[in-house]
Amino acid sequence: MKMLILMLMLLSMNFMFMKHPLSMGFILLMQTIFSSLTCSLNLNSYFTSYMLFLIFVGGMMILFMYMSSIASNEKFYFSMKLMLFNILMIFLYSMINLINMYNQNMIMLINLYNEHCNYLMNKLYMLPSGNITLLMIIYLLFTLVIVSNIIKLKSSPLRSN
């Protein structure tokens, strides 16, 4: 669990230094995978993390289509400084974890906190907030249908003539 959070932090720091759109897209994809794994480990149900992953990947496909049409012939370079920084951060984190061993009380406290978070997350789909979630889903579906009809009428970008 802690390693997933470390990877999320490292990917967030790396995202600021990326210049190529494809490397940014790859980092976003990796962050999506790690955040879905973190979500699935914290919740009792894997359905939420699965839906989160599918929604993010759908958006990433649209971003990839835009970026590949804009920057199709741009060269891709690896940064050795960034790779060394990542290796150093992972090594330092591993050493800190070896030095600071957790005792049993801390583990029990973390488990208690995770159970409380699971209860709060499950309340999202129970009554009365379940109706709000259903309303949001219907609103997003309705908006999707309207936007696709507007695109058909105006022949916007990404439509072939």
pLDDT > 60? residue 109: no
Residue 107 binned pLDDT confidence (cut-offs 50, 70, 90): low
Domain ranges in the chain are 2-104
- Rounded to whole angstroms, how far apart are CA atoms 4 and 31? 10
Residue 98 binned pLDDT confidence (cut-offs 50, 70, 90): low
The answer to pTM > 0.75 is: no
- Rounded to whole angstroms, how far apart are CA atoms 62 and 56? 10
Give the position of tokens 């009554």.
Answer: 127
Question: In this structure, which amino acid lies at residue 126?
Answer: M
Residue 124 binned pLDDT confidence (cut-offs 50, 70, 90): low
> Given this model, what pLDDT does residue 156 score?
57
